[in-house]
């Protein structure tokens, strides 16, 4: 979680925020904003482009009986040759990432139980790794210590995973080092060969380092609107490092966003806690920087899901946690995997390559990541 005057004056109240805010809400799907070129781009000289593809009918029901001949892949409008195809039953290598910053302190037991149910919903051949992450601030150097701990390496041994979740969750707290943990998890997935790959990450999305950069960029803003306009969330080097690593491997990312990443809900809760006390700007009026930091954090989660072909799930109630984990597991069991060698692979121009999937059956819709940058 970011450090700000909002938290400095309300630390005790904020310990209960994550639990209390599970009162209402629903699932939000990630949008696909117009891509902005990142500083780092994917090299496609000899790499296959790997896609996880979901197909649904008009009622939104998954279609899982298709074969390779039912699909056509287009890059920048040009049909590509499919090199490999895996049906929905093929196993995944998956990283389950758990945010153990201060935003999850009040419901670690529920987190553990929901994660156990998620693991139980996966296929028997799926290989799972459990990663916990949080960051601690210190007075002496180094001022910030990043914790990205692999609690269980990739395995299909369910007993080992269950034991890890029941007995080996650290007592993390403090800040959120989301993008450092994502980078580490993608490095681990790169050693899983050509298997289908995914990341499921529970977090509020408010990465401490990026939040500091966002506050610095908005230092002269007088209003929330000015502050939000001062930040381009998708231009973040850390975010684009993660996106390009995911592009190279065809990793689909499913963020589950905690309510502590929603500034409006935090302020509403604080007003409820204060009851009839006089109005206090420290609680009632967010600074322009706070508005921008939280808006940018949520926008980055949306981009992370959209660019990788996943979905952003917004958690608003405690009971939603287990249900939405189950929804992610169910969606993964409906994904096809397709690989193709780009016909434009020699044109290393760093430009955006748009991907489109067509299915040779009426009244169905295919969804995958929208494209990638290439050099």
93 pLDDT above the threshold of 90: yes
Using the predicted structure, report yes or no on whether residue 254 has a pLDDT greater than 90.
yes
**What pLDDT was estimated at residue 34?**
45
Structure tokens at 68: 């390779």
Residue 151 has pLDDT above 80, yes or no: yes
Mean pLDDT of the chain: 85
Is 189 within the bounds of a domain?
A: yes
364 has a pLDDT exceeding 90: yes
Mean pLDDT, rounded, for 130-142: 89
Closest-CA residue to 55 (of 370, 364, 369): 364
Q: CA 111 to CA 253: how far, in whole Å?
A: 19
Half-sphere exposure of 261 (CA within 13 A, CB side): 31
Q: Is residue 78 part of a domain?
A: no
pLDDT at residue 143 above 90?
Answer: no
Q: What is the dihedral of CA 256, 205, 138, 287, to 10 degrees?
A: -140
Asked which of 232-236, 251-255, 268-272 is least confident by mean pLDDT, the reply is 268-272
Q: What is the pLDDT of residue 113?
A: 92
Work out the number of other CB atoms within 10 angstroms of the CB of residue 62.
Answer: 15
Residue with tokens 């310990």: 15
343/149 Cα distance (integer angstroms) = 40
State which residues form the domain around 317.
5-41+84-342
pLDDT digits (tens, 9 = 90+) for 8-29: 344 334 334 333 433 334 333 3
215 located within any domain: yes
H-helix or E-strand containing 302? helix 288-308
222-227 average pLDDT score = 92
In a domain, 226, yes or no: yes
Q: Which residues pair with 317 in a beta bridge?
A: 23
Tokens of 304: 């992370």
Domain of 267, CATH number, reads 3.40.50.410
Q: Are 294 and 262 in contact (CB under 8 A)?
A: yes
What does the pLDDT read at residue 83?
96
The Cα–Cα gap between 9 and 17 comes to 14
282 part of a folded domain: yes
Residue 123 lies inside a defined structural domain of this protein = yes
Residue 302 belongs to a domain? yes
Does the pLDDT of residue 355 top 90, yes or no?
A: yes
**Digit-coded pLDDT (tens) for 297-347:** 999 999 999 999 999 999 887 778 989 999 999 999 999 999 999 988 666
pLDDT of 32 over the 50 cut: no
- From the list 205, 228, 198, the residue with the least C-alpha distance to 303 is 205
Q: Which of 181, 172, 88 is nearest to 130 (CA)?
A: 181
End-to-end CA distance of the chain, in Å?
A: 35
User: Count of residues for the chain?
Assistant: 375
How many structural domains comprise the chain? 1
Bridge-based pairing state of the strands 49-57 and 335-340: antiparallel
pLDDT digits (tens, 9 = 90+) for 260-285: 888 876 666 666 666 667 666 655 67
366 falls within a domain: no
């Amino acid at each position: 979680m970011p450090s700000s005057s909002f938290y400095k004056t309300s630390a005790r109240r904020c310990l209960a925020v994550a639990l209390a805010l599970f009162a209402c809400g629903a699932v939000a799907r990630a949008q696909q904003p117009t891509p902005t070129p990142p500083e780092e781009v994917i090299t496609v000289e000899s790499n296959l482009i790997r896609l996880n593809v979901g197909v649904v009918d008009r009622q939104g029901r998954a279609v899982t009986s298709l074969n390779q001949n039912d699909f056509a892949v287009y890059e920048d409008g040009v049909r590509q040759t499919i090199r490999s195809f895996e049906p929905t039953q093929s196993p995944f290598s998956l990283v389950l990432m758990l945010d153990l910053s201060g935003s999850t302190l009040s419901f670690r037991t529920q987190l553990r139980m929901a994660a156990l149910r998620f693991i139980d919903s996966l296929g028997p051949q799926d290989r799972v790794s459990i990663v916990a992450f949080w960051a601690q601030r210190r007075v002496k150097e180094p001022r910030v210590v990043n914790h990205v701990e692999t609690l269980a390496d990739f395995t299909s041994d369910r007993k080992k995973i269950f034991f890890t979740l029941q007995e080996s969750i650290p007592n993390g707290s403090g800040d959120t080092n989301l993008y450092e943990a994502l980078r580490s998890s993608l490095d681990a997935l790169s050693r899983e060969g050509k298997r289908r790959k995914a990341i499921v990450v529970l977090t509020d999305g408010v990465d401490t380092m990026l939040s500091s950069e966002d506050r610095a960029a908005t230092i002269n803003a007088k209003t929330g609107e000015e502050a939000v306009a001062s930040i381009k969330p998708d231009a973040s080097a850390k975010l684009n490092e993660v996106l390009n690593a995911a592009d190279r491997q065809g990793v689909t990312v499913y963020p589950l966003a905690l309510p502590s990443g929603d500034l409006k809900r935090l302020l509403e809760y604080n007003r409820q806690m204060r009851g009839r006390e006089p109005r206090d700007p420290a609680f009632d009026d967010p600074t322009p920087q706070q508005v921008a930091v939280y808006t940018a954090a949520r926008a980055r989660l949306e981009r992370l899901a959209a660019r990788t072909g996943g979905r952003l799930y917004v958690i608003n109630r405690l009971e939603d946690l287990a249900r939405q984990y189950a929804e992610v597991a169910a969606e993964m069991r409906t994904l096809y995997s397709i690989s193709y060698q780009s016909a434009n692979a020699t044109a290393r121009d760093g430009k955006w390559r748009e991907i489109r999937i067509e299915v040779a059956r009426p009244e169905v819709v295919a969804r995958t990541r929208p494209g990638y940058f290439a050099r």
